[in-house]
Structure 1
Amino acid sequence: MGKKMAVVGAGAAGSYIGAFLTREGHDLVLIDMWGEHVEKMNADGIEVSGSQGPFNVPVRAHHFSDASQLKDKYDIIFFAMKSYDTVWAAHFAKNLLASNGVLVSNQNCMNDLTLASIVGFDREIGCVMSGITVGLWEAGHVNRGGQPGRDRGHDVFRVGELYGRITPRAEEIAGLLSCIDGSKATSNIWGERWSKLTTNASSNPITAMTGLGSNGAAELPEARRLQIEISKESCRVALAQNFDVEPIKGITADVWSRANEGDIYEELDEKFLPTPGANDWKSSMSQDVTKGRKTEVTLMNGYISEQGVLAGIPTPVNTAITSVVDEIDQGTRQANVVNIKEVLTRAGIT
């Protein structure tokens, strides 16, 4: 008998994972809080479009209020909740997890230790999703932008144990996810997490606070400067804590940490220039702003700032951009290009 699986958090990433695994014939249910989305999935399946579509697959979906009555226990739970919903949703997921089951964190940010403290350190495994852009703009329909990683020699899914060993279950989960895109087990999940955190922190809030797409932001030298400064601060914090950060945009963390050096700055600036033919994609944080939802900025850039305090590393740009996006969350500021100058001012950069 095959393993029972669940996706807790059927947003863009969760719906995408669920659609592909269901299409492969796995016994899987999706659980989410958006009632219209749950109803649409049950009625018409999940519609997948974009660079790996189109296709439609019938699925089984439950609202959280109904899922609490499920009698099944799940061998593998793919956990794709927003970071600010981690704690309560992890307690919910724990009740659905089989005694020898594993919860796979497909989230942004650094939530693995929190999850492990709830479900058990032997029942949580990290999964970084690198270089994948997906959007859920309407109920029942998930879209992927950009070229699949496999087509460009890139492993999107990096699955790893918190203690750094490549285990059979890490390889098993990587194998499951390989039906979607390039996938591998890693012995450096923390280095992968810091690399992804840096990538997200340097891009997501830029498009979120400006209302621009990725190409529009890339055309602005001031936006690229913020991206370089955010990446520099993040890498300095990670290196100060002795993490072995995986390369970011093909460049080592040590180089990013020395971004203020003239020749290095020019090299890094090129990494953020517009890519010819690329979609003008909105980040997940920008999608949240567009939908009027809370963002993950305090658990992304804010986390870098908090860790910077602990490590004694200044993070003025991450602190400034966290405050600006948080004001958008609170409804006291609107997404606009002028927010770039506001962040530079608050960070003391002229």
Structure 2
Amino acid sequence: MIDLSNKKIAILGTGANGSCAAADMTQDKYDVILIDQWPDHVNSMNSNGLVINLPDETKKVNVSAYHLCQLAEMNIKFDYVFLFVKAYDTQWVTKLITPYLNAEAIIIGVQNAMTNDRISDIVGSDRTLGCVVELSSELFTPGIIQRDTPNQKTWFGIGALCNSMETRLPEIKKILSSVGNVDIIEDIVSAKWMKLIINAMCMGPFAMLGTSLYEGFKITGMREIIMKIGTEALLVGQRRGYKIVPIFGLSEDQINNSNNPIELMLDKLIKDIGPNARDAVFHDHLKGRYSEVDEINGLVVKMGKEMGIDTAINQKIVNITKKIHAGEIKPSIENLIDFMEYS
């Protein structure tokens, strides 16, 4: 029996997904502290509780939330830190939290993109666990989350970066089981790349059109374009040595028996998140924020160039996203014109 009753948990980055996780862990009586950089969100959570609107119910959970600037005032050492920040914020946030870690503390990067090494380079691979997540949620109003993926369809894959950390995986599995289903994955680095492929296919491309996945796939030729984006990313990953491994709760047999495992994973994600979900890049465009497209499609392009692999479609996604962020164009179906040759 794993006893976690006296362990302190930090959720660092309580945007939509971080808030969902924090609410569930708190409800299960874990000692959880939420840390975020949006003052209005922190204030609302402390004053009114954290509201999670799910497809079939609404939860209201009283939480302990702190502004990022209050961290220096906290006389606390954490046993587990779950990073829910954007991939490009990984290094500075990891350095920020390092002085507040217990000697055997673990940091788990519950993030998109390939952030494992960024964390382990700072705290060591013997204090880092990799994580892949399937959870769709939205945060527009402080203190109120729209969670599109219910607990029974939420999924985490966790894995160690070194052999010495494999014995710590059951601790994290137990904690994350409050939020969704959890699998321990032997090759977590390949699993992270599998998720990056799916993100490359379903985040930037649909966000640039201003549509959800459900609506976007109704566009003639869109599935063909999306699959070619995924094929580019898959080829880059395979050249790098990443393997095709199951994610999102799929089994080895399902992957091995599929003619197109990437499409299988994509369809599983679409089914689980539901018709109302809008991806994180879509949210970033709506809020005028920098997105993770450079960390996802951009990484495919960067690695492709290094290995002499053509990644023209991913490059187009990067270019259009940069124009949207610069205010030169808006998310629109018209942005699909340059892609029709691939449909």
TM-score (norm 1): 0.88
Deviation at 1:18, TM superposition (A): 0.6
CA deviation after TM superposition for structure 1 residue 276, in Å: 12
Aligned to 2:184: 185
- Structure 1 residue runs of 4+, over 6 Å off? 272-277
Choose which of 40, 43, 48 in structure 1 pairs with 2:47.
Answer: 43
Residues 273/96 of structure 1: CA separation in 2 closer, same or farther (3 Å cut) = closer
Quote how far apart the aligned CAs of 1:222 are.
Answer: 3.0
How does 1:80-119 map onto structure 2 within 5 Å? 80-119=84-123
Assess, with a 3 A threshold, how the Cα gap between structure 1 residues 254 and 93 changes in structure 2: closer, same or farther: farther
- Alignment partner, residue 263 of structure 1: none
Q: Which amino acid aligns with 1:306?
A: K
More contact order relative to length (CA 8 Å, sep ≥ 6): 2
Correspondence for 1:305: 301
Whole-Å Cα distance in 1 between the matches of residues 102 and 271 of structure 2? 45
Residues 286-342 of structure 1 deviation map (CA, whole Å, 9 limit, x = unaligned): 011112211110001001111112232211111111111111111111100111123
The alignment status of 1:225 with 2:228, answered yes or no, reads no
- 8 Å contact kept, 2:137–2:277: no
Q: Is the 8 A contact 1:4 1:28 kept in 2?
A: yes
> Structure 2: which 5+ runs fail to align?
none
- CA 1:59–1:303: 2 relative to 1, 3 Å: same
Question: What residue in structure 1 maps to residue 205 of structure 2?
Answer: 206
| Correspondence for 1:61 | 65
For 2:270 and 2:90, the matched residues in 1 are separated by 34
Aligned equivalents of 1:219, 1:45: Cα separation in 2: 39
Contact 1:83–1:109 (CA<8 Å) still a contact in 2? yes
Give the conservation status (yes or no) of the 8 Å contact 2:54–2:150: no
1:9 to 6, 13, 31: 13
The answer to whether 1:158 aligns with 2:157 is yes
How far residue 206 of structure 1 moved from its aligned partner, in angstroms, is 2.0
AA matched with 1:35: P
Q: CA deviation at 1:137?
A: 2.0
Distance 1:50 1:273, change over 3 A: closer
Q: How many residues in Structure 1 have an aligned counterpart in Structure 2?
A: 334
Compared CA separation, residues 157 and 226, structure 1 to 2 (3 A): same
Cα pair 2:127 2:165 within 8 Å, conserved: no
What's the RMSD between the two structures over aligned residues? 2.8
C-alpha separation in 2, matches of 1:36 and 1:207: 29
TM-score w.r.t. the length of structure 2 is 0.89
5+ residue gaps, structure 1: 260-266
User: What is the distance in 1 between the residues matched to 2:86 and 2:322?
Assistant: 16
Letter in 2 for 1:138: T
Pick from 16, 23, 26 the counterpart of residue 22 of structure 1. 26
